[in-house]
């Protein structure tokens, strides 16, 4: 084990693989796609070949395979969550972020009372799963602040619901801090590498603790050593050549598998967006929609068992296209500034669009539909929304989860849990239009459960929810 060494990201090897596979023959590409269709993953050189694919017919075939893999493993459910930004104070100087030190962002840090108000608003929007996010500032937001915030969130209940899972995205830290986060009830710990390219990383992270590439790229090792067995990774696409980043992302995946026997629980795909004080024309590696689709599809083929997350950085129409490439989780109704959910909920109740936040957002959101509108759209697209948090609460984490995901047996729990948690949403929070569309979606997905016993049990759960029971899960 090499927790403090980042040499598993082998830059010369990445460049060599990309050069060697730049003109991969059609027959070989077809072989790679056929291999991926068995959902057994791909090796580095196969990933390097696919990420450079330009032939439209082969790309279309790759996209179809990506969707088929996602459906085979996770079914047609889409898990929903909301980010909760606790603080925009930050001592780092990341060139692409509206919160960087020295920007003129209006800073804010939520008090525990404000966190309670935000959580109640999130619960009233139907959310059950949060992603905590904040800038890095050991004075404004030390680890004790994060732990107290988590306790506050888990203790805050609305009349109809509660937050059942808190995932955490905070700066790279020590094994001891990760251990404390785990004890406080962290689900998945997420840390984006932003860019795996060392020279670009140094240029983008000009000052502050995040400047240290080695400390950052080995953070997921320390999280695992601290007992967090579900970790999430991601690249901020647009900082450096996406072909390099995707092969490097796979190197991190392989490193985690080889070192801990478990790959990442999630991979995210944030794409660089405009933000306060960030001029996109100074970034030469921005990723087009077409290339972004290739990135998502290749990673779905390469790491079939992993949850893939898309955020509100993408606009609604494009999010729809990306979902068809194998995305399994998405955020909905997000506020990407500090605070704002309570104001948003009040505005929705008055039938208005949400007001401008009173602190600067981290980046500009491209999907500002309400969760209710998003859910309706998910149903109309043939998917079923899910607020499931069952694996974490049933101890199906780390290698126990991976075993089920890799074999595709996870679907036996994903589908019933999606149906039951979506039913709770429909009964407790949905608008009449969404309820009408949603009930049809539930009927259809219930009928498609292959096992008669699971179907009967799920139908019993639906009846119990109608009668007032909540939080039924498998």
Residues that bind ligand SF4 (CB under 6 A): 79, 90, 92, 94, 97, 99-100, 135-136, 210, 386, 388-391, 410, 413-414, 417
Query: Which residue in 49, 51, 1 sits closest to 27, CA to CA?
Result: 49
Q: Is residue 138 left, alpha or beta, with left meaning phi > 0 and alpha meaning psi from -120 to 50?
A: alpha
Backbone conformation region of residue 340, classed left if phi is above 0, alpha if psi is from -120 to 50, else beta:
left
CB atoms within 10 A of CB 32: 25
Task: Transcribe 266-320 into DSSP letters.
Answer: EEE--B---BTTB-GGG-TTPPPHHHHHHHHHHHHHHSTTSEEEE-TTS-HHHHH
For residues 253 and 264, is the Cβ–Cβ distance under 8 A? Answer: yes
CB of 408 closer than 8 Å to CB of 73: yes
In the bound state with ligand SF4, the residue whose beta carbon lies nearer, of 92 and 249, is 92
The tokens for 233 are: 């990774």
CA distances from 72 to 39, 224, 261, 410, 453 (A): 9, 28, 23, 10, 20
In whole angstroms, the minimum distance from the beta carbon of 13 to ligand SF4 comes to 28
**Which residue lies nearer to ligand SF4 by CB, 94 or 446?**
94
Q: In the bound complex, what is the minimum distance in angstroms from residue 94's beta carbon to ligand SF4?
A: 3
Q: How far is the CB of 338 from ligand SF4 (least distance, A)?
A: 11
Nearer to ligand SF4, 90 or 119 (CB): 90
195 vs 294 by CB, closer to ligand SF4: 195
Secondary structure of residue 78 in the 3-state scheme? strand
Rounded distance between C-alpha atoms, residue 390 and residue 392, angstroms: 6
Nearest-angstrom CA–CA distance, 89 and 107: 6
Q: How far is the CB of 285 from ligand SF4 (least distance, A)?
A: 17
Structure tokens at 381: 């697209």
Structure tokens at 340: 């704002």
Dist CA 157 CA 161 (whole Å): 6
CB of residue 452 vs ligand SF4: minimum separation in angstroms?
A: 20
User: C-beta of 54: minimal distance to ligand SF4 in Å?
Assistant: 32
Residues 81 and 331 sit within 8 Å (Cβ to Cβ): yes
Nearer to ligand SF4, 227 or 408 (CB): 408
Tell me whether residue 201 or residue 292 sits nearer to ligand SF4 (CB atom): 201
Distance separating alpha carbons of residues 87 and 89, to the nearest angstrom: 6
Q: For ligand SF4, which is the closer residue by CB, 182 or 216?
A: 216
Q: Give the residue with the Cβ less far from ligand SF4, 294 or 386.
A: 386
Taking every pair of Cα atoms in the chain, the longest distance, rounded to a whole number of angstroms, is: 62
CB of 385 to ligand SF4, least distance (A): 11
Closest CA to 189 of 90, 107, 270, 268: 268
Residue 94 or 250 having the CB closest to ligand SF4: 94
When the beta carbons of 74 and 178 are compared against ligand SF4, the nearer one is: 74
The least distance separating ligand SF4 from the CB of residue 128, rounded to whole angstroms, comes to: 11
Smallest distance from ligand SF4 to CB 30, Å:
31
CB of 86 to ligand SF4, least distance (A): 11
Between CA 130 and CA 149 the distance in angstroms is: 12
Q: Could you please report the per-residue DSSP string of 200-264?
A: HHHHHB-SSGGG-HHHHHTHHHHHHHTT---EEEEB-BTSS-HHHHHHHHHHHHHHHHHHHS---
In the complex, what is the shortest distance from the CB of residue 453 to ligand SF4, in angstroms, rounded to a whole number?
17
Q: Give the CA count within 13 Å in the CB-facing half-sphere of 92.
A: 25
Give yes or no for a contact between 143 and 179, defined as CB atoms under 8 angstroms apart: no
In this complex, which beta carbon is closest to ligand SF4, that of residue 25 or of residue 450?
Answer: 450
> Whole-number minimum distance, CB 89 to ligand SF4, in Å?
9
The nearer residue to ligand SF4, 91 or 147, going by C-beta atoms, is 91
Q: Which residues contact 182 (CB under 8 A, 6 or more apart)?
A: 226, 227, 228
Nearer to ligand SF4, 136 or 424 (CB): 136
Nearest-approach distance from CB 345 to ligand SF4, in angstroms = 25
């Amino acid at each position: 084990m090499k927790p403090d060494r980042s040499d598993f990201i082998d830059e010369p090897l990445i460049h060599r693989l990309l050069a060697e596979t730049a003109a991969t023959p059609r027959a070989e590409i077809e072989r790679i796609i056929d291999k991926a269709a068995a959902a057994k993953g791909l090796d580095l050189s196969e990933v390097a070949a696919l990420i450079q694919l330009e032939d439209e017919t082969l790309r279309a075939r790759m996209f179809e395979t990506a969707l088929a893999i996602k459906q085979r493993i996770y079914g047609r459910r889409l898990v929903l969550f909301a980010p909760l930004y606790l603080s925009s104070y930050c001592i780092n100087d990341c060139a692409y972020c509206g919160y960087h030190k020295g920007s003129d962002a209006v800073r804010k840090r939520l008090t525990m009372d404000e966190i309670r108000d935000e959580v109640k608003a999130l619960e009233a929007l139907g959310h059950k799963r949060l992603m905590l996010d904040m800038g890095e500032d050991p004075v404004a937001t030390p680890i004790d602040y994060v732990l107290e915030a988590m306790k506050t969130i888990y203790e805050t209940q609305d009349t109809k619901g509660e937050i059942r899972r808190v995932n955490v995205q905070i700066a790279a830290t020590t094994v001891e801090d990760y251990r404390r986060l785990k004890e406080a009830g962290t689900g998945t710990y997420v840390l984006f590498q932003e860019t795996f390219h060392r020279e670009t990383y140094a240029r983008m992270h000009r000052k502050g603790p995040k400047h240290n590439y080695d400390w950052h790229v080995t953070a997921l090792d320390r999280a695992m050593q601290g007992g967090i067995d579900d970790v999430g990774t991601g690249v901020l696409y647009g900082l450096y050549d996406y072909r390099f980043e995707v092969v490097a992302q796979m190197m991190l995946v392989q490193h985690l598998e080889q070192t801990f026997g478990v790959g990442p629980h999630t991979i995210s795909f944030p794409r660089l967006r405009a933000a306060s004080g960030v001029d996109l024309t100074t970034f030469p590696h921005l990723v087009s929609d077409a290339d972004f689709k290739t990135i998502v599809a290749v990673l779905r083929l390469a790491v079939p068992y992993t949850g893939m997350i898309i955020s509100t950085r993408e606009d609604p129409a494009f999010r729809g296209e990306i979902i068809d490439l194998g995305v399994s989780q998405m955020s909905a109704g997000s506020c990407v500034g500090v605070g704002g959910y309570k104001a948003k909920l009040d505005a929705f109740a008055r039938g208005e669009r949400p007001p401008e936040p009173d602190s600067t957002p981290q980046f500009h959101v491209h999907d500002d539909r309400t969760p209710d509108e998003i859910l309706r759209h998910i149903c109309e697209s043939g998917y079923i929304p899910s607020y499931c948090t069952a694996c974490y609460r049933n101890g199906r984490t780390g290698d126990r989860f991976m075993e089920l995901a890799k074999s595709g047996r996870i679907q036996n729990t994903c589908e019933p849990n999606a149906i039951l948690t979506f039913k709770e949403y429909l009964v407790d929070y949905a608008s009449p239009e969404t309820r009408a569309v949603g009930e049809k979606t539930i009927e259809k997905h219930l009928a498609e459960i292959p096992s008669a016993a699971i179907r009967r049990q799920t139908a019993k759960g639906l009846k119990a929810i109608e009668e007032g029971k909540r939080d039924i899960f498998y």
